[in-house]
Every structure is written in structure tokens, then in C-alpha cells.
Chain A
């Protein structure tokens, strides 16, 4: 029985894993391997083995940029998860017929282009922008508030653009919550808060985790928002990798930076995923002597 499940699951996974191997693992391995070579004087590759690129990665400058962008992305994630979860909860509680409609309207704004959405925020927030004009029209005469080109503006921009992904991710497990489950919990005398904390929240943690991962990885790799809403004053780690490959034409160092970044993030994410899995206890008995 177990071996039959293994076989069936392997068959189900095969097309996707083949796709990823052919079009991600192999090509990326070829490029990331450049990390072990030297940059040629005009930006080409000199094929002599070296570890110096990794030496450069551990300059405090890059660690600082990494930590700072992780902090900005982390803050955006936290805010997006709180708002997105609340919205997904409200959608899942709406009449069934309306739920797909709400989901559709949550993603519709994002079928316009990223750049023009960002420009729209600039129109609203800039010192001579719509919000300032509104304030003046209401009789405000002081210095216009400086809302743009701040860390807050970057975070707001990230939250805005990735909020729908959290809504979608959280909606997935929330939508199957049986209303009777909550009712049963209430009937047993649990308060609304307890029901939420003990019954609903644990069942939807996987959705929250997926949504949080989406916002975090998309934010830390983003460079349009820091450039336009942050006025280029904040650098995200994705931007740094991009600059090495394209601006500095330094593929070996770009590859070393990317490899380090990928390794750190994979470590954190897989550890978190496995821990969450173990914590849920769901796989405890199946894991046994499995190939962990």
C-alpha cells in the first residue's frame, strides 16, 4: 500500500519536477557555477578557478544591505498578512456566490502595469500631489507632509502590490472551513476569540505561511518600488544582484551573491516548512524512519 502511494505520488510529481529540472536546475546551475571563476577585464569570464567572489560577498556592506532589505520585506510581510488575512476571512464568510467575484476584484487592479500603478501612488503622495491638494482645499496651510521617498512609502508600495497574493493564499484554506465547526465550538461554550484562536487559526496557518512567503520573496527581490517610491534611497538585495549582472557586467560576483542569497533563503524556508509540518503533528506517524 505504502509503495503504491509512493508510486502514484511520484507519477503526479513527475511532470512538474521534470519541468523544473530542465528549465531551472540545469540552466541556473550553469550560471551559478560562474561564481567560481574570475571576471574578465571587460566583463567577460576568465576560466580560472577562484573563491575570491565569495570572499567579497561577506563584506559587511552586503550583509548590511541584506539585513536592511530583509527588515523592510519583513515589515511589509507582517502588514500584508494581517490585512490580507482579514480580507480573506471576510471573503470566505461572504455568500458563496459572491466569493469568486470578490477574489476577482481583489486581483483585477493588478492586471494593469506595475509601473503605472506605482506612478499613480506618486501622483497621490508627492509633496504637490493629490493628498496635499486635498489637505490645502480643506484649509491646511502648513508644510506639506513628506510621504514619498521614505521607508514607509516603500513598505506601503510593497504591501499594496502583494496584498492580493496573501488574500488568495489565505482564502484557499479558509474557504473550506466548515461553518458547523465554528458553531460546534461555540456550542461547547468557547468564546468567539477562543474559537478563532483554537479552531480557525491553526487550520489556516498553511495559507498564512504561503502568503507570507510570497510577500517576503517578492519584496526582497523587488527594485521598481524602492527606486520610484523610495527615491532610490533604499536598496533591496534583488537590486544588488541585478546590478552585478547588468550594470557592472560582473557575472561571477553576481552569481556568488545570488548563490549565497538562495542558500540562506532556502535554509530558512525549508526549515520553517519542515518545522511547521512537524508541529502540526500530521506527519509524525508517517515520517518514522523516512528519508528526512
Chain B
């Protein structure tokens, strides 16, 4: 923001503060509720740490959280790779019919329940064993479409003549990708990966249908939605609070580390 006028800078900071206030207001409530004495999700009845203690002893929730992390990380990694390649392929071609366009939009548009039932019926038909791996296969389907959209948005204004020039100068395709294309699309790839991870962490219906019968492939949203009938206890709020605290710590550490490395 260095070359901007002070007024513009103030406005931009104001926008950021307001948006972050909006994003974090319910999160403050959620964190507060993790210390709620009573079990009702919407009524405050006193301070207590008991939900943290009971979370520590709840093997079902903890294993579900680990499963969710695995599904989200693996499906994000695969989808980021495939989605990025797809985006480059599509935009490089610069001439694509509506069929291809529709195929890429489809995973975002098909109602979750249709994809969920379709995949389960399909896997059963093939006698495919269900497990965490089938959830990952399914999550990659929609995740890659989202990653592809974000990367394409950036490639729209990419000047492909640089790629040609690089090739003319004798650089191999891989070198050209690493030195020319990748640096340009990297922020979009990171944004796409964050988006895919966020979608996957919270996805319920498709995971429920494509999961195997058993604890080993129960994800956190499956565990939480199942609590609806007898009330979602603040254990989940405690878990969310811990997840956020850990993420923030990890980010802070990595920032420190990076600065250290750059400093040398």
C-alpha cells in the first residue's frame, strides 16, 4: 500500500477491519460457548472447562477429527494438482466448446445428494470396498472444479506469448512451467487449495454416503450432524476452539521461521 494516499490506506484498513469483525463475531460466541456449563447449544449457563475434559476422553470425536484432516489434506493435494493442470490446459488451448465448459461447471452444480447417491450406487455396483479412500475420491471431484475456477480466473489475463518466447529460447516445457507459468499462478493455486481444504473439512452428505461402515471412515461432520438428535454438546465448540488456536500458533511459527530464513 506504499504508493497509496493516506486516505486510501485508511479506507482499505477500515474495510479489512469490518470484514474481519463480521467473520469473527460468531466465532467469538462459539469460543465462549465452549466454556458453557450447560449442554444447550444456544443458552448460556455459567463458566466451565468440563467440555474440554470430556473432549479429551471422547475417542469417537477425536478419531473423526483425524479422519477429516486426512480426507481434507489428501483430497486438497490431489485436487490442487489436477485442477491446476486442467486450468492451464483449458486456458492454453484458448478455444473450447461449451461441452468442456459444462463438464468443468458440473461438479459444482450437481446437487450433493445426487453425487452422493450416484457414487455409492456406483461403488456398490463395482463391489468397491468403501473407506476413507472413497471419500477422498469423491471430494476430489468437486474440489478440482473449484481449484480450476480460481486458477482460470488468474490465467485469463496471462500473456501466453511469454511461454512461447521461453520455448523459443530453448527452455524445456518443465523449465518454462517452473520459471514462467508457476510464479504467475501461484497465489491462485494457494487460494484454490485453501478453498478446497475449507470445503472438504465441512462437507457432510457426500462423505456420509461414500464412507465405509465403521469408525475408521467416520468424519467429523458426520459425527457432529449425528449429534443433532440428542443435542450437539459444546465439546464440538471446544474442538473448534482448539483447532483455531493450533492453526494460529502454527501460522505464527511458520511466519517467524520464514522471516528468519529470509533474514539470513
Contact = CB atoms under 8 A, between A and B. Distances in A.
Q: Do chains A and B touch in the complex (CB under 8 A)?
A: yes
Q: Most chain-A CB neighbours within 10 Å: which of B89, B224, B243?
A: B89
Given A172-B154, A258-B111, A106 B23 contact: yes
B74 interface: no
Contact of B148 (A11, A16, A203): A16
B127 interface: no
A123 interface: yes
Contacts of A32: 114, 118
A30 B117 CA distance: 10
Interface string A42-58: 00000000000000000
Contacts of A23: 119, 122, 137-138, 140-141
Contacts of A61: none
A123 B187 contact: no
B110 to A, nearest CB: 6
Interface string A90-121: 11011100011111111111111111110111
B111 A12 contact: no
Q: Most chain-B CB neighbours within 10 Å: which of A10, A183, A207, A214?
A: A207
A12 B86 contact: yes
A113 B225 CA distance: 10
A112 B27 contact: yes
B118 A210 contact: no
Contacts of A214: 108, 146, 149, 195
Interface in A117-150: 117, 119-124, 126, 129-130
Contacts of B187: 99, 171-172, 175-176
A203 B89 contact: no
Contact of B113 (A120, A168, A246, A280): A246
A189 interface: no
A209 interface: yes
A241 B111 contact: yes
A251 B114 CA distance: 10
B93 A123 contact: no
A119 B232 contact: yes
Q: What bracket does the count of chain A residues touching chain B fall in?
A: 35 or more
Contacts of B236: 113, 115-116
Given A120-B27, A176-B187, A20 B244 contact: no
Contacts of B197: 107
A273 B148 CA distance: 14
Given A25-B106, A108-B244, A116-B236, 9 more contacts: A8-B89, A24-B107, A31-B114, A109-B244, A113-B236, A116-B224, A168-B150, A213-B149, A266-B102
Interface of B: 1, 3-4, 8, 12-13, 15-16, 19-20, 22-27, 29-30, 33, 41-42, 44, 82-83, 85-86, 88-90, 92-95, 97-98, 101-103, 105-115, 117-119, 121-122, 125, 137-138, 140-141, 144, 146, 148-154, 156-157, 173, 184, 187-188, 190-192, 194-195, 197-198, 201-202, 204-205, 220-221, 224-225, 228, 232, 236-237, 240, 243-244, 247-248, 251, 255
